[in-house]
Amino acid sequence: MNNSLKSTLKSIGVIILGGSGYGAKEFLRLAILHPELEIASIISSTNSGELVSKIHKELNSLCNLKFSKTVDLDVLAQFAHKFIVLALPHEESEKFVINNFQELQTKQICILDLSGAFRLKNKTERSNYYGPIVKELTEEIINSFEYGLTEINSDKIKSATNISNPGCFATGAILSIHPLKSLNILNIAIDGKSGSSGAGRGLKQNFHHPELSGSSFPYAVLKHRHSAEIIEYCIENKKINLAFTPHVIPISRGMLISSYVFLSESKSKQEIIELYTNTYKNCPFIRLVQDPSEIRLVAGSNFCDIYIEVKDNIICVTAALDNLIKGMAGQAIQNINLKCGLPESMGLNHSGLGLV
């Protein structure tokens, strides 16, 4: 991606909807590093006609595209692989997909949704967390989406019609406990801590820096919507008690998730480490670390650092990741790579910042 974001040699074309938000900004920043991905257009109804770099100032001299107001699917015609990335609230994503589904299918454009609109197949849970399913949201539409957690669903992502990116907390939690699925689990307790960027770009009083600085607070206690993803795609509705509560901490990006898994029998630390090593041996963005996970070591990267400790029948797994990258935009590009038959690390193989 050069200064104009234009190259006739690139094979992947992307339209971004919701171009002014954090998710779109991170996707753009990462796309600059990708040798096969071109941003064909960026849609923002509130910033139409403005230079993208005026809103996302860190892209100054790197991106000279302007925000468009309407979607023109024809800009993707020249590309071998066509994607439309929805960086929208879930209600808006749902509406866009319903209104454009048939045309997108006909033109073989893959929808990659960053919201929660299409993550859950369980209708009851989806209604509980994302509102009632409207009649226009057909089974065909819902079933066209595959859950885009790359490390656990890669085969389905490769052949997916459309992809629904996971939630950031769900990403960290599922990656933490997925290798333990074969064991006899009694209970799971998950404590999540995330920076304020998880709330998006809109202003909210308790996420406002003067309110959050020097403080921390839990929210959606025992009823966060990402619990449903953890249950559906990892616990798989087995009779396991799950308790999950997220907290906001006074940093802008990154998250740390501590999962406590209680087994019916004791296991050695070596047994558990071998289980994780074998499960993630072909996953380039999972790093099993020997010291407790730290946000600063993954911030700005697509890595998830996992640390394991075992005491009798209790396993504690900590996972650190960047909520905007591995928890959103980086994972989206990872999924695009898989879908296009490219190495999943293409354009993403850079380190964390170390200092934030």
Residues recognised as catalytic: 168
- Tell me, rounded to whole angstroms, the distance of Cα 262 from its chain centroid: 27
| Integer Cα distance of 93 and 81 in angstroms | 21
User: Under DSSP, is residue 43 helix (H, G, I), strand (E, B) or coil?
Assistant: strand
Judge contact between 172 and 193, C-beta under 8 A.
Answer: no
User: Under DSSP, is residue 350 helix (H, G, I), strand (E, B) or coil?
Assistant: coil
User: Under DSSP, is residue 112 helix (H, G, I), strand (E, B) or coil?
Assistant: strand
User: Under DSSP, is residue 28 helix (H, G, I), strand (E, B) or coil?
Assistant: helix
Residues whose CB is less than 8 angstroms from the CB of residue 171 and which lie 6 or more positions away in sequence, other chains included: 149, 304, 321, 326, 327, 331
| Integer Cα distance of 320 and 193 in angstroms | 10
Token pair of 238 as six digits: 């087995």
Count of C-beta atoms within a 10 Å radius of residue 313 = 15
Residues whose CB is less than 8 angstroms from the CB of residue 348 and which lie 6 or more positions away in sequence, other chains included: 30, 33, 285, 302, 330, 333, 334, 337
| Integer Cα distance of 266 and 115 in angstroms | 39
Q: Among residues 21, 18, 36, 139, which one has the least CA distance to residue 82?
A: 36
